[in-house]
Structure 1
Amino acid sequence: MIMLNHHTNKLLLFISAFLLVSCDKLLEIPEPKNSLTTEKVFNNETQAKGAMAGVLTQMINSSAYGSFSAGLSSQLGRTSADELDNVLNPGDNYYRNALTAQDGQSNGIWNSAYQTIYGANGVIEGIAESKSPLLGEKLRKELTAEAKFIRAFCYFYLVNTYGDVPLVLTINLAKNTNIERTPTTKVYEQIVTDLKDAANILPADYASGNGERIRANKWAAKALLARVYLYTGNYGDAILEATDVIGQTSLYQLELVDLNKVFLKNSSESIWQLQQNTQVDFSGNAVPEAIYLMPSPLHTGVSSDLSPNLLRAFDEGDLRKAAWIDSTDFVSGSNMVHARFVYKYKTGLHNKVVNAEAPEYYMVLRLAEMYLVRGEARVLNGPISTGIEDLNVLRRRAGVDPLPTSLGKEEALAAVAKERQAELFGEWAHRWFDLKRTGKAEAVLSAIPAKQPWRGNYQLLYPIPKEELERNHFLKQNPNY
């Protein structure tokens, strides 16, 4: 947990109250432009830092099943994609791709993302309006840049989950009342603008997190920008941004010896992590998502099973499968069930300790993804052989044979998809988003027995929360819900 003094802790109570406004007021948060916001919370550097810390704390310390940034995006992404089989609730509509407007678990993605956006907007506006001479110009710029990074991160998950979404860039009530959905292309333009601003201003080190990789820096902004460029088809710039991050060898190195070290806090592969509060009873020193990922007891507890589609992504002897997948045997009814589960984090319900040092932080951005982003962009932008070499960096690290650089474009793209599956499985809905953005979702998902009959590609976007539509008649539901 980020350590703050007594006065800042009291300020965080205000910030937390601001962020945790009831979800039914999500787009109607009253304008907090008053003396408390500008003159108190942003009166000096310690207090302004505390405000930003409050936004980050809210992102990770919500229930994993209640916040997009504490595990909900990962969980629903695994379930909607093809990463799970024999789930504990086979009637789950996310697993069956049979969603209706009444399926509300994904509402947590919408609600928590907009709560975080409001917190980021509050920091941006509060700093801009503060006239305090105790708040230095350098910190003003850096905290504003960090808030823009957080805002861009939230909008990336919103547009990839719901499509067009309201673009909220202020805490001004008059501007946010009855706001319409903004086209995805326009939201992406704002994401790129925010990330460029962040990359230009944020420091290149981790001094703001006291050396821990828990605060976004220049390279985190560039890493997310590389991903955004890949998603939007700007392959040349995706290559440039990913290359910039990969080139920071004094900060970032792939873990070549022991893959079990990749997800440790401040690992050499981590670009940005979220730090959990170890005093929370339900998760203790575990990453909140890991509480749900692993069975308890570890090898005899109940778990969903990883799918054949995922397991086929690993070549024989792939060290990622050995290090990042474990199994459990448990009795269900009269049957003995053998299930495989994601084991990237090693601390879960079975061994968590309240108020103990955290061995792992929640990994958000890591170096391996940059090789995958650059590799795919190079395959699409040419020359293909250089993209294959990026894939081979990860394959050699995983202990499997490199791919021939003579692969054709379609073969190379299939190799990219398989490598992304093997490297990023279970993380942050990567597989779910990959299937959708590459146009492979219907072909892959409709072949899974539990997802038949295929009800239509409208299922690839989640429904807008019903309460939002009832409150704001300018919002329109996604088609067919």
Structure 2
Amino acid sequence: MKKYIYIAAIALAAVTLTGCEDLLDSENFIESNTGNFPASPADAEKQLTAVYATLNQAMATPTANYFYVSEVACDDRFGGGGENDFESMADGHLMKATDVQFDSFWKFRYNGIFRANCAIEGLIAQESAFTDKEAHGQYLGEAYYLRAYFYNELVEMFGAVPLITSTAQETNIPRTPVDEVYAQIAADLKNAIELMSGKKYNQYVEIGHATKWAAEALMARVYLFYTGFYGKDSLPLVTADGVGSISKSEVVAWIDDCVANSGHSLVNDYRNLWPYTNEFTVGDYEYTKNATDAAGNALRWAENGNEETVFAVKFCNYAGWDSDGQMGFTNQFILYFGLRADNGGESTFPFGQGWGQGPVAATIWDEWQASEPDDVRMRASILNVNEELPNYVFGADKQMEECGLWSKKMAPILAKKPIESGKVSAWNKSLFWVAYDAFDKANNGDEMQGAHFQDLITIRYADVLLMQSELKEDAAGINQVRARAGLAPIPGYSLELLQRERRHELCFEGRRWADIRRWGIAEEMLDKKNGVTIWNKGVQTVMRDGKYKERYKATNGFFPIPKAQVDLSAGLLEQNPGWDEASANFSGWNF
């Protein structure tokens, strides 16, 4: 049987599977199917675009996304938002969750898996139609990479999940044991590494596409989480003969290859990674206007797709607002993590307005100051309103769980740039379409909710260097990262120093939650949130005992399988521990 795949003739092609061939088994010259598609690079690019699109669609409901969950559940952030934002408060979702909380994320990740399966099957079947074998390998490798990427997020977030690797496979199946899911992830990444081009990251594929180097880096990430969290010494691997394994030495060879041959490197100054150093803001922002890099050059944002970006989700500056994923084509995390109303204007320049979620916990600031107060990354990453924003309003629009600390890495950024001829000026060459004309928003094209196209960088080269150090248990990668920050090298490797370096370098980039879980320190780190000074609706108080340790023990850090999926499975999908009806309405976290 042939499976028919309809390709929508739009920039973001949608791929769906239909039924069998017609009754007479005649050749169909109208519909694309796995017997004739993809037959060219243009076909393959359409099909892969459909897979990549699901990365964005899952962003349309940010509080359901694994990145968001990882941020607000970890020890370095609170949930925040307003007094009624219970989907973000309770430190995100570890304490309680609604029945529909994660429906959209589950849906779009499995949509992506289905589309990746279509692409893999079609590209394998149509290999002979491609005269450019390097291009064919690249396309197929990207499809394998994306399937692995989707499954890795699902298995870290939910634990065992249904493993579906074929469009012909029954989809209503029980949860697959985690070892089998990881074995498939490893096999997909190994295929991706072997298939994709070995040219430098910017010499063969368009920025935003997966590369061999991204696959090598993701393999290291998967290995470190699986072996750490589950206490194993190798990563299982699906092979032609059954199940094999990937050893630490193999992962080291891949990460060494990424460092030596990818062409990726560190941006010259850590502050240039973040959009507040864009050309329209850097000279007006007190923190940056007189700052220079190590060579004496003024700071300047390295922009999206810079040499440090190994893999990122890409966005545009406006994409419409609907319930079917369109809004995810703008970076919604920027909106969610922005300063809440009554802040976010002239008085808090250059940090713009958002919904006040993900306030930074005072623990990371205090511990960072105690360990390395001269680390430039601390103030480059964390906005301390008491130092920088004298007119900041605590409790603005009933803001909850604030410590006066916010992330600078992913925030709405404003610019003092006049309007020219009634149009938004060169601001639209920068990051956000939020221009200020002498702080007068009138007729300036402001769109606070849908104008954000900063990359969501999910793998950064600094992370690659730190994983290399951790895998090899040496200080070389750590010290490269520290040198960029102007810090003295550490004399030798230790896990404690590696843990501190990852916390500082990668804070608010979605990695802390997985790190504290795989290192076995989540309960200890989460317990530090208790008793932290916070402001709820402008009233100073302390974070009460949220029973973090008890809640983590009950859930093991996993989140609930969406109830709709459990119901649709007619009982085949079992719910995660700690998420029965009583636990999911955790009484220790009611306001």
TM value normalised by structure 2: 0.67
Matches within 5 A, 1:142-153: 142-153=138-149
Task: Give 1:178-257 correspondences, 5 Å limit.
Answer: 178-205=172-199, 212-233=206-227, 234=234, 235-248=248-261, 251-257=263-269
Aligned to 1:393: 480
Deviation at 1:64, TM superposition (A): 4.5
Residue in structure 1 matched with residue 337 of structure 2 by the alignment: 293
1:321-359 per-residue CA deviation (whole Å, 9 max, x = no partner) reads 222223552242699976322222465588722899987
Q: Distance in 2 between matches of 1:426 and 1:103?
A: 27
Cross-structure match for 2:299 = none
Which secondary structure state, in structure 2, belongs to the residue aligned with residue 160 of structure 1?
helix
Quote the sequence identity (%): 23
Give the Cα–Cα distance (whole angstroms) in 2 for the partners of residues 426 and 470 of structure 1: 35
Greater helix share, structure number: 1
TM superposition shift of 1:368:
0.6
> Cα gap change, 1:105/1:330 in structure 2, threshold over 3 Å: closer, same or farther?
farther
In the other structure, the counterpart of 1:465 is: 562
Partner of residue 121, structure 1? 117
Q: Tell me what 2:471 maps to.
A: 377
State the match for 1:383 in structure 2: none
Equivalent residue in structure 2 for 1:480, among 578, 583, 589: 578
Q: What is the match of residue 22 of structure 1?
A: none
**Preserved contact between residue 352 and residue 412 of structure 2 (Cα < 8 Å):** no
Write the letter of the residue equivalent to 1:98.
M
1:228-263 alpha-carbon deviations (Å, 9 max, x no partner):
2222334433322221111126x1111233532367
> How far apart are residue 112 of structure 1 and its match?
2.0
**Aligned residue for 2:381?**
324
d(CA) in 2 for partners of 1:93, 1:168: 33
Structure 1 partner of 2:551? 455
1:52-131 map, 5 Å:
52-60=48-56, 62-66=58-62, 72-85=65-78, 87-89=80-82, 91=86, 92-95=89-92, 97-100=94-97, 102-130=98-126
Letter in 1 for 2:554: Y
**Is 1:206–1:212's contact at 8 Å kept on the other side of the alignment?**
no
Could you say what secondary structure the match of 1:37 adopts? coil
User: What's the secondary structure of 1:85's corresponding residue?
Assistant: coil
Give 1:183 deviation, angstroms: 1.2
Alignment equivalent of 2:499, drawn from 417, 439, 450: 417
Matched, 1:362 2:360: no
Corresponding residue pairs, total: 444
Q: Distance in 2 between matches of 1:440 and 1:125?
A: 41
Aligned to 1:10: 9
- TM-score w.r.t. the length of structure 1 is 0.81
Show CA shifts across 1:378-403 (max 9, x none): 33xxxxxx2x3322221222223332
Q: Tell me, yes or no, if the aligned pair for 1:306 and 1:341 is still in contact at 8 Å.
A: yes
Decide whether aligned partners of structure 1 residues 395 and 56 sit closer, same or farther in structure 2, where only a CA change above 3 A counts. same
1:136: Cα distance to partner? Answer: 5.6
Please report the RMSD computed on the Cα atoms of aligned residues, expressed in angstroms.
3.5
Change (3 A) 1:331 1:442: closer
Q: What residue is the counterpart of 1:352 in the other structure?
A: 432
Once the two structures are superposed, what CA deviation does each residue of 1:194-219 show, in whole Å capped at 9, x if it has no partner? Answer: 11111111112378997642111111
Q: Find the aligned partners of 1:276 and 1:151 in 2 and give their Cα distance.
A: 20
Single out whichever of 464-473 and 318-327 deviates more from structure 2: 318-327
Please tell me whether Structure 1 or Structure 2 has the larger radius of gyration of its CA atoms: 2
Post-superposition offset of 1:457: 1.7
SS of the residue 1:232 aligns to: helix
1:49–1:266 CA distance, 2 compared to 1 (3 A): same
- In structure 1, the residue corresponding to 2:312 is in which secondary structure? strand
Once the 2 structures are TM-superposed, how far is the Cα of residue 151 of structure 1 from its aligned partner?
Answer: 0.4
1:270 aligns with 2:313: no
Preserved contact between residue 368 and residue 378 of structure 2 (Cα < 8 Å): no
Deviation at 1:478, TM superposition (A): 0.9
Tell me the CA shift for residue 84 of structure 1: 1.4
Distance verdict in 2 for CA 1:11–1:64, change over 3 Å: closer
Q: Is the 8 A contact 1:67 1:109 kept in 2?
A: no
Distance 2:61 2:128 in 1: 40
Give the whole-Å Cα distance in 1 for the aligned partners of 2:67 and 2:134.
35
Amino acid at match of 2:553: N
Instruction: For 2:178 and 2:403, locate their aligned partners in 1 and report how far apart those are by CA, in whole Å.
Output: 42
Instruction: Give the CA deviation at 1:121.
Output: 0.7
SS in 1 for 2:560: coil
> Which region of structure 1 is more displaced relative to structure 2, 269-278 or 213-222?
269-278
Contact 2:360 2:406 in 1 (8 A): yes
Cα deviation for residue 82 of structure 1 reads 1.1
Verify the 8 A CA contact 1:152 1:194 in the aligned structure 2: yes
Does the aligned pair in 2 maintain the 1:264–1:359 contact within 8 Å? no
Matched-pair contact (CA < 8 Å) for 1:313–1:421? no
AA matched with 1:443: E
Distance 2:136 2:408 in 1: 40
Aligned mates of 1:359, 1:261 — CA distance in 2:
14
SS of corresponding position for 2:9: helix
Task: Tell me if the contact between 1:330 and 1:338 (Cα under 8 Å) persists in the aligned partners.
Answer: no
